[in-house]
Amino acid sequence: MARITIDDCLKRVPNRFLLANMVAKRVRQIREGSEYLVSSPRNEDIVISLREVAAGKIKLRPKSHDDTD
Query: Which of 25-34 are b and which e, b meaning 16 or more Cβ less than 10 Å from the residue's Cβ?
Result: ebbeebeeee
What pLDDT score does 20 carry? Answer: 95
Distance, in Å, from the CA atom of 61 to the CA atom of 26, rounded to the nearest integer, reads 13
On the CB side of 55, how many CA atoms lie within 13 Å of its CA? Answer: 15
What pLDDT score does 66 carry? Answer: 64
H or E, element range at 19? helix 16-31
Task: Please name each of the domains of the chain with its CATH number.
Answer: 6-54 (3.90.940.10)
What pLDDT score does 68 carry? Answer: 61
Each residue's pLDDT tens digit, 19-66: 999 999 999 999 999 999 999 888 999 999 999 999 999 988 777 766
